[in-house]
Structure 1
Amino acid sequence: MLIAIILTFLIHVFLGLPLFLALLSSAVVGFFFIDPAMIPRMMPQQFYGGINAFSLMAIPLFILAGNLMNAAGMTDQLMRLARLLVGHLRGGIGHVNVLSSVFFAGVNGSAVADTSALGPLLVPAMRKEGYDKAFAAGLTAASSLVGPIIPPSIFMILYASLTNVSVGSLFLAGVIPGFVIAAAFMAMNGWYAWRHQLPRNGRAPTLKELSAAVVQAVPALVAPVIIVLGIVMGLVTPTESGGLIALYVVICGVLQRRLRLRDVWASLTETVRLTSAIFLIMAASATISWQLSYAQVPAQLTTLFTPFLDSPLLILLLLSLIIFTVGMFMEEVSALMLLTPILVPVALAAGIDPVQLGVIVTLNITIALITPPMGACLHVAAAVSKLEITALFRSIWPFVLVALGVLGLLIVFPPLTLWLPGLFA
């Protein structure tokens, strides 16, 4: 049944069918393996049930907060701060690219939004500084991977809704890995700049200049702190946190006279558009997840992995290989919704901490955003840099290997993900 569902999905995607329709048609195929008579009753029930969760309301609220921050100019202030901090180093504009992604991660939690916002600005700037176009586009796409890892994270909210793991613990667990990923890509950029002897530009900022930039960026820098601390300390739920941060951004934008009514309307419109697409995919994926659970596919997979359950490290490597392979050919939200209910029981049977697993699954799914042929960030980066997508397909693999290296560190050293949540346990 699983093979038939996957083949149906891939065929319909390559034929150009919208993703949620490709998933629904795959669900229809799945019901023919279970009981076709269940289609009229179970498909609507599972389709609606897949998005009928209070915690999922946080997703549109965090997306709205990110859109409002962009409209209010807060992201411009973050980029200016990044330029002052690292722009004077060799390869400084590349470092600005990565550091801006770190700042943006605390704003919207979306890698694709990060690539879309930073690419048109930073890829041309990197070209002027002597960077190869393919490397500039690749670094822009790759650095955006920190978006779903550093809180807030849409992928982590989805994972939590499927596994009943604390969103606050997942957010905390993503902080250190997010900075490790950023450090890895900054090291890669530094090596590239040294190898090609790129020039240093400008001078180190004065304390006065840096202080002024930090003061201007404080409203944006405080936002992720409010989100994480509010959830971890039990003051607000993730959904309430999303509403609170959206209101906070509106107040800051109005007080700074940067946010107008038409900007709020445009942000709301974009949020509705993006949220609708995500929720349609989630609902269709939930139908297939129910089918796999009904057919006891997770239990069968656990039995298949029984010989390896004594080695959590090997289990994580095997599960990562499965997620990485599926992610290359399937849209990321769909892959997360379909694979999580199947793979989590295997990991729990091996004694793997569900919080560590959540970060590893999230990073795995996120890496799929820069792997050919379906990687959404690749297509966005190629479009904004006016680069042939096939050229970016060839040049992206060093960045993928660096990201996989960080994934390996998280698997081998669990404290990288579990230490910070442990402090608040």
Structure 2
Amino acid sequence: MSLLLLLLFFFFLMLIGLPLYLALLSVAFAGIAVLGDASLLRVVSQQLFGGMDSFTLMAIPFFVLAGSLMNRSGLTDKLIDFSKLLVGSMRGGLGYVNIVAGIILAGVNGSAAADASALSSILIPAMKKEGYNQGYAAGLTAASSLIGPIIPPSIFMIIYASMTNTSIGGLFAAGVVPGLILGLSYAVMNYFYSFRYGAPISSGEERSQAKKILIQSISGLLAPIIIIGGIVTGVVTPTESGALAAAYCLLIGLFYTKKLDKRGIFEALYETVRTTSSIFLIMGAAQAVGWLLKWERIPQHFAGLLAGAGLTSSPVLLMLTFSAIIFVVGCFMEEVATLTLLTPIFYPLAMQAGIDPLHFGIVMTLNVTIALVTPPMGACNYIVSAVGKVPLSEVLKFIWPFIAVSLVALVLIILFPIITIYIPKALGL
């Protein structure tokens, strides 16, 4: 009963607009009040700072900074031009460009929100100009941004790794094929939409400038190579890789594209501090709530409930159950908090069921990533609506088919673990 009251209290705080980290901390303090043990108050501050005190998490600000500098230095534009050169001349070409650009940008910052903002500012106006339905353009852009946290690097994977002591390099390698599967599923949707509604065929004028575009795009393509290649090969740690990528984007913006000035650098640093501090505060507050749940033995009670239902004997059924829970929770809770709160509960059960930690990490990451477009919370829906100047009602109307396709990809990944673990095993990660 006390747990139910705390949940209701939490949702009430969310409804009245209290910042998420404060809502989580309030729940932690309320839980201690219910327990009636004032000596536990000091544990909240310990857990708050403990949740942020991890060397692994130092990679997050560098990846965020690299993505922000990349957008402001003009490298994002060059990568989109490269995507147009690859797939832009097909029917529904700008739709495919949207997806390919999402895949390439995913290799830089690991943030769906950053990718949604970058893609929306460029591709939604272009798609509307060519005659695409604005709701479809926004829905596809929101969906394309989901590839960001799956293809390495990934902020969600870093958080998961810090909580479970899983190899970040292994997780990054495990995310490559699932990310491509997600992109392919969106491409199939775009194919059917293009022929059913007669999507326009782009002029293909990029072909006449192919050499120039290829040369200019090399500078942008090197950024994901630095990040992914360095980590997977073990040459650098994830934190060092993020720092190198940020330094590379800074130098390219200053001396090659020359679009980066003092104002742009300051804005990138400000955005990095704001984004990172938000993530860290939510993680710390969620850690405090997670400690309270462990103190009350909620994970053990939950494990007993699942064992009684016979779910722990079937890895597939267990992960499908977890996915259903995350889908519902993700509709109402921010994704970092969802991942931080549920991982300590789900992870021991997954290990008990014999699930590979890399496979489980990708399933958890994809689950919370899908929540980024799941109404009513769905942060990426609001981003593409605001940046792309598309009414939110139009975005929500077209986002559901992409959610369905994403869930199909999720089930496919759950059913066939080889999709995630083949590359890490081949690389010995």
Please classify the TM superposition score into its range, dividing by the shorter chain length: over 0.9
AA in 2 matched with 1:164? N
Give 2:111's aligned residue.
110
- State the Cα deviation string for residues 25-54 of structure 1 (Å, max 9, x = none): 111122234444135311111111110111
Rounded Cα–Cα distance in structure 2 between residues aligned with 1:232 and 1:201: 37
Structure 2 CA distance for partners of 1:210 and 1:2, relative to 1, 3 Å: farther
Asked whether the equivalents of residues 4 and 29 of structure 1 are also in contact (C-alpha less than 8 Å), the reply is: no
Q: Deviations over 1:340-388 (max 9, x none)?
A: 0011111111111110011111010000011110000111122234333
Aligned counterparts, 1:49-88, within 5 A? 49-88=50-89
Q: Distance in 1 between matches of 2:182 and 2:268?
A: 29
Q: What's the counterpart of residue 255 of structure 2?
A: 255
3-state SS of paired residue (1:305): helix
Distance 1:262 1:188 in 2: 40
> How many angstroms apart in 1 are the aligned matches of 2:414 and 2:354?
13
1:389 alignment partner in structure 2: 392
What is the letter of the counterpart of residue 9 of structure 2?
T
| Distance in 1, Cα, partners of 2:3 & 2:338 | 13
* In the alignment, structure 1 residue 136 sits paired with structure 2 residue 175: no
2:350 aligned residue: 347
How far 1:93 sits from its partner (Å)?
1.0
AA aligned to 1:363 is L
Give 5+ residue unaligned stretches, structure 1.
Answer: none
Deviations 1:165-224 (A, max 9, x none): 000011011111111111111111111110012231213754x73343232222221222
**C-alpha separation in 2, matches of 1:222 and 1:34:** 54
Q: Give the SS at the match of 1:5.
A: helix
**For residue 404 of structure 2, what is the aligned residue in structure 1?**
401
Shift in Å, 1:114:
1.1
1:260–1:386 distance in 2 versus 1, CA, 3 Å: closer
Q: Measure how far apart 1:299 and its partner are.
A: 2.0
The CA distance in 2 between the partners of 1:280 and 1:237, in whole Å, is 24
The alpha-carbon deviation at position 231 of structure 1 amounts to 2.1
Contact 2:156 2:365 in 1 (8 A): yes
Distance 1:341 1:35 in 2: 25
CA drift of 1:313 comes to 0.8
Letter of the aligned partner of 2:293 in structure 1? L
User: What amino acid is aligned across from residue 217 of structure 2 in structure 1?
Assistant: A
1:259 alignment partner, SS class: coil
Aligned residues of 1:85 and 1:205 also touching (Cα < 8 A): no
Does 2:427 align with 1:424?
Answer: yes
* Contact 1:28–1:39, Cα closer than 8 Å, also in 2: no
TM-score w.r.t. length of structure 2: 0.95
Matches within 5 A, 1:19-418: 19-203=20-204, 206=207, 209-256=209-256, 257-306=258-307, 307-418=310-421
One-letter amino acid of the counterpart of residue 92, structure 1: G
Moved more, 119-128 or 147-156: 119-128
Per-residue CA deviation, residues 291-324 of structure 1 (Å, 9 max, x unaligned), is 1122222222222222222211111111111111
Return closer, same or farther for 1:71/1:347 CA change in 2, 3 Å cut-off. Answer: same
Offset at residue 5 of structure 1 (A): 3.1
- Within 2, Cα distance between the matches of 1:230 and 1:337? 27
The aligned residue for residue 16 of structure 2 is 15
Distance 1:270 1:385 in 2: 19
Distance in 2 (alpha carbons) for counterparts of 1:225 and 1:380: 27
SS at match of 1:329: coil
